[in-house]
Chain A
Amino acid sequence: MKFERYGIGIVKGLSVTIRHMLRHPTVDQFPEQRLNISRRTRGNELIWSRERCTGCGTCAKTCPQGVIEIVTATNLADNKYEVEKYQVDTGYCIQCGLCVEACPYDALFMGYSYERAKYRRGDLVQANDELQESPERPASGYFHPDIAKKLPQQTLLVEKIVEKR
């Protein structure tokens, strides 16, 4: 490549930039238009299913951060473990998903949402019924292919995104 200095490189660069000006910008105007997030997203919360959980504690042992706290009591009438308290400190959780992967009874799901800031740090510690699935707390398809099929398709940037005004 010859090192020429009379300005042809600058002219080529200018032509690329001006051509970009005539193209569509790759932008999405956030609060009004939102892209669909991934079907397997590991969102900002953890969802627990009280019916399926048996209190085995595999998730608590697997978690690298140690955020899950389980207190069980033996229910002598039915002869099985009863989970008294299942508490997750979502402030320390790094959303790695190892607990969901490890649960043998498919009782844990990652959340599908991402705007879950709280006003107080104490509110980040969630227990028992706050962790159930509900319409405000949908579950994502991470390690649950049946749920993943029902969620909307992810918006990919390789397809053309047209900005609506």
Chain B
Amino acid sequence: MTTTEMMTLKTEPFVLNFGPVHPSTHGVYRMRATLDGEVIIDIEPVVGYLHRGIEKLAEERTYTGFIPLTDRLDYISPMSNNLAYCLAVEKLAGIKVPERAEYIRIIIAELQRLANHCVAVGSFLNDAGAYFTPFMYTFREREKIIDLFDMVCGQRLTYNYMRIGGVSQDIPEEFMPALKKLVDQLTRFIEEYERLLKQNEILLARAKDVGILPRETAINYGISGPVARASGVKWDLRKADPYSIYDRFEFDIPVGETGDCYDRYRVRIEEMRQSLRILKQAMKDIPSGPVKADVPHLVRPPAGEAYAHLEAPKGELGFYLVSDGSIAPYRCHIRPTSLINLGALREMVRGWKVADLIIIFGSIDITMGEVDR
């Protein structure tokens, strides 16, 4: 028999489109992934499906009238967006916020962080395949938090609660007892949730050492928030550049070691525990007094520019405002946390499989409202 040469199969990579409408891209996000079998060689993101021109609209609304629009940026945690914008205007106009308003702001911001991490963890595990069970558990807890927000400001998603110079109305009397019960129930809930999933072998096999983001890469890309902290970057704006009255509370910053998906999940759970700690301290010390500084509705800050940033649940959210002395900003630019965090997706995903793409994308925790503005 003559020797025959080995018949090799010719393979070529093909492009798969994870369209804007997909069960697990969080919002309208489109990726064109070049796959070789199941292995991902490259991805090309396409964003812009939710662009509404919020930065341009800011120039046509008044300073106070723009607050409802900031709700629609990161619609999972709107209170943080409101707060960031109000901080920027207060910095621009030099307004001082009363004490009670500062405490209320901190309580609301930490509750919002808890609610956001509920969504983040729940949908991360939903993408990993646990068929809605952890999702339902975390959303049940988020409902409790949203009930409190409903009690305070009347809506469940687009709150419009923070005003320039404080908050819009005082908290009602039944808020504090309900908050106490909530803090107890959430502490027990996190323990039970950890029992469900912390040591689960399948989750460990899916998420440990998957999608590693090295520390230097994270710093170079400008990643912030739990994603950066999981990679070992010990940077939290509440401690590094304290805004409002965060320097009066004591809490720790959880930092991960490897920067894989499992570390991001653990960092978020630990942040939830630290938020509960801050809430307990704030509930004890809250003073009484006015809740809003005496600021007219049509604020006219002096001409100038200001940038204020805060530690939103997803990362560093910043507002850059340029004012020319009139009732509307001259220019408003938003530092979009999710868009900048998304920049590292390509690095993290090459060499992994399709199933890992979904889980890595879910662990960054993106909201398209912020990416596209």
Residue on A nearest B183 in the bound complex, by CB: A158
* Nearest Cβ on chain A to B68's Cβ, whole angstroms: 4
State which of A16, A96, A159 has its C-beta within 8 Å of the C-beta of B68.
A96
Please encode chain B, from 128 to 159, with 1 for each CB lying within 8 Å of some chain A CB and 0 for all others. Answer: 00000100010010011001101111110010
Interface residue ranges of B261-299 to A (CB < 8 Å):
297
Which of A34-42, A67-75, A127-135 faces chain B? A34-42
Known: A156-B178, A157-B143. A98 touches B64 (CB 8 A): yes
In the complex, the answer to whether A94 meets B196 with C-beta atoms within 8 Å is: no
Residues on A with C-beta less than 8 A from B178 are 156, 158
CB distance A40 to B169 under 8 Å? yes
Known A-B contacts A9-B200, A40-B152, A41-B155; A154 and B66 likewise in contact (beta carbons under 8 Å): no
- With both chains docked as a complex, state the minimum distance between the C-beta of A95 and any C-beta of chain B, in angstroms: 7
Q: Does B198 contact A (CB under 8 A)?
A: yes
Q: Give the one of A37, A97, A140, A157 with max B CB within 10 A.
A: A157
Does A101 count as interface, using CB distance less than 8 angstroms?
yes
Instruction: List, sorted by A's number, 15 A–B pairs whose CB atoms are closer than 8 Å.
Output: A3-B208, A4-B201, A9-B201, A10-B202, A13-B200, A16-B192, A16-B196, A41-B150, A64-B62, A64-B68, A96-B160, A148-B172, A156-B147, A156-B148, A158-B185
Contact with A along B71-102 (1 / 0, CB 8 A): 00000000000000000000000000000000
Closest chain-B Cβ to A22's Cβ sits at a distance in Å of 14
Give the interface size class of chain A: 35 or more
What residues of chain A lie closer than 8 Å to B148, measured between beta carbons?
A: 156
Q: B interface vs A, CB < 8 Å?
A: 61-62, 64-69, 133, 137, 140, 143-144, 147-148, 150-155, 158, 160, 168-169, 172, 174, 178, 181-182, 185, 192, 195-204, 208, 297
CB pair B154–A142 under 8 Å, yes or no, is yes
With contacts A64-B65, A96-B160, A98-B65 taken as known, whether A9 is within 8 angstroms of B154 at the C-beta atoms is: no
Tell me whether B154 and A157 are in contact (CB under 8 A).
no
| Distance A16 CA – B198 CA, assembled complex (angstroms) | 12
- Indicate whether A102 reaches chain B with its CB closer than 8 angstroms: yes
**Does A153 belong to the interface (CB within 8 Å)?**
yes
B181 with A12: CB separation less than 8 A: no
Asked if B154 and A110 sit within 8 Å, CB to CB, the answer is yes
Q: Which residue of A lies closest to B202 (CB)?
A: A10
Contact residues, A25-66 vs B (CB, 8 A)? 26, 37-42, 62-64
Residue of A nearest to B150 (CB): A38
